[in-house]
Chains A and B, each alone.
Chain A
Amino acid sequence: MEMHELLAVGFMILIGLHISGAIYESRRTHENLPRSMVNGRKERRIGDHEVVVVKGHPVVLATLAAATIGAAIWGAAKPAHGVPSATLDPVYADECSACHMAFHPSLLPATSWAYLMNNLDNHFEEDASLGGETTAELAAWLAANAAETADTIPANVFRRTTVSAPDSITQTRFWQRTHHHLDDALFKRAPIYSKTNCAACHNDAKTGLFYPANISIPKENQE
């Protein structure tokens, strides 16, 4: 069982104990404890302190309420900060995924994308050249949606790519450190086949998020 599952099961047990405790204590003291959670009132008991009612100034209360509601509306209307919103350009997805996963533009900085697009005829030792017009269009789209526009973990770390290989993610120190514990054979076996196939294990690779909880290593027979 993984740590995450273990914690989840432990949490369910704690919830069970907490609810049982509330029921048991309500019966023991003859007081409906859950009701107090809703209306904020407790029964008066012998030895209680004198109740001092503090009343808020209506103007202060109204201001606070308005500020809270305003902030909620403003926050909901605005896109979440830094989350890459670009959906893959259809031509980009089509051309790149002819050979490999179409990488989200937020995974490399604009300078790296420019380098990559200028060297498509020797793209990781493959000739991946495109027509001049398509190259220019895709280069512009990549520059507009590069790592500088996002605030995800990969965008923040891959913004500093290795100088000798500005178009390589797997040659960055971050990538090598975070994948160090994985066996080389894992990257070669079905259905992964290559270190470039991020989406094989990172279920949210297409969105550029790479949230750590969204990793699951596929079993060999899952083709």
Chain B
Amino acid sequence: MNQKTTAITVLALGIATFGIAKADPTRDAIIAGFAVEAGVPSFSAEDGKAFFQGNHSGGKPETPSCTPCHTNSPHAAGKTRVGKVIEPMAVSVTPARFTNPETVAKWFRRNCSSVLGRECSALEKGNILTYLSSL
């Protein structure tokens, strides 16, 4: 293997590792908890994406979706109502995402009430976390 090939291999490996979200036991446990609660074997990242980007009713008029604050791309940083930066939601960009059950519960409680005017179901929560962890 010459030097150039080595350099390319190292670079490719680096990009691959960077691009894939690292598994975290706490995060897995949170998702597994939602699976038990929802009574489903696994979640759908597709449904999670649709729920994250879709428009809902019942919440506040300024926030019909997750996107007014989190933007359409979970890889991008969002902004709170007063302009404070929200770190990207995608686990691949912000590895610390969804590793604290209390923080997850807190933000689902607050944001589901803003967007939907109700609590989110365990299925909805599981789908969203699966979607954002898969990116």
Contact = CB atoms under 8 A, between A and B. Distances in A.
Interface of A: 97-101, 125-131, 191-194, 196-197
Given A127-B110, A129-B109, 16 more contacts: A97-B84, A99-B81, A125-B60, A126-B81, A126-B110, A126-B114, A127-B109, A127-B111, A128-B110, A129-B110, A191-B83, A192-B83, A193-B79, A193-B82, A193-B83, A197-B84
Contact of B80 (A99, A127, A192): A99
B82 A100 contact: yes
A97 to B, nearest CB: 7
Sorted nearest first, the 8 A-B pairs with minimum C-beta distance are A193-B83, A194-B82, A127-B110, A99-B80, A127-B113, A100-B82, A196-B82, A194-B83
B4 interface: no
Contacts of A197: 82-84
A97 B87 CA distance: 13
B84 A99 contact: yes
Nearest to A195: B82
Contacts of B79: 193
A145 B95 CA distance: 35
Contact of A99 (B60, B82, B109, B113): B82
Question: Which of the listed residues B80, B82, B106 has the most CB atoms from chain A within 10 Å of its own CB?
Answer: B82
A131 B114 contact: no
24 contacts: A97-B84, A99-B80, A99-B81, A99-B82, A99-B84, A100-B80, A100-B82, A126-B110, A127-B111, A127-B113, A128-B110, A129-B106, A129-B109, A130-B106, A192-B83, A193-B79, A193-B82, A193-B83, A193-B84, A194-B82, A194-B83, A196-B82, A197-B82, A197-B84
